Amino acid sequence: MKHKMITILGPTASGKTSLAAALAAKIDSLDAASWGGNTKGAEIISADSRQVYRGMDIGTGKDLEDYTVGGKLIPYHLIDICDAGTKYNLFQYQQDFYDAYLEKPVFDEKFDKALIADVLDRFLDGFDMADDSTAWFNKVKAITEAIGFTTDMKAYKQSPEAFPGTVADVSTFLRLAVTGKTNSPDLYTVMHLLGHDRTVERIHSALALLRG
């Protein structure tokens, strides 16, 4: 399976919650190889604009009992996360969604952990949310050259043995630290959706894993 997220859409009271829970339970029952060989169990992320509020369970149709299938509770997220009256907007939802969806990084073992940590430290030293995408990537390229990797992908393809790594590898270190994935939407955009504090927090968490 190429994508690890299934989106279920439908009108109010059409059975989306019970369908999502049943589907998650079915995925959990399958062999991991059916889902790319690395299934960790399905979870549900709510996209309901009212169910983020605590209380008002009946009026917002939370149907919390539907998350239990066959006696097993299906993990769910972004329900009951703030008090009624809180001004909760789309930007906050995007940040909370990424916190729920993103995974812990698993770095390629061919690269030394100290090297990856050095890259993350260097990035944090120069991280500035005011940078545009060009300035941001120029900093990534500067880190690449500072650690002895190359930004010249053409030269690398011609003589890969001449370089320990490339700017693509450095970008992957950062992408994994922030998103836990080797593939994600544009990383510069993701960092801006997460915001400065959450981006820095995720990188610090990755550093703790590398140094643990």
Phi, psi of 75 (to 5 degrees): -60, 135
Q: Residue with structure tokens 């900093």? A: 139
Give per-residue pLDDT as tens, 153-207: 999 999 999 999 999 999 999 999 998 888 877 999 989 988 899 899 999 999 9
Which helix H or strand E contains 150, and what residues bound it? none
Give per-residue pLDDT as tens, 1-38: 344 788 999 988 888 999 999 998 988 887 655 555 45
Q: pTM, whole model, 2 decimals? A: 0.65
Strand pairing category for 44-45 and 76-77: parallel
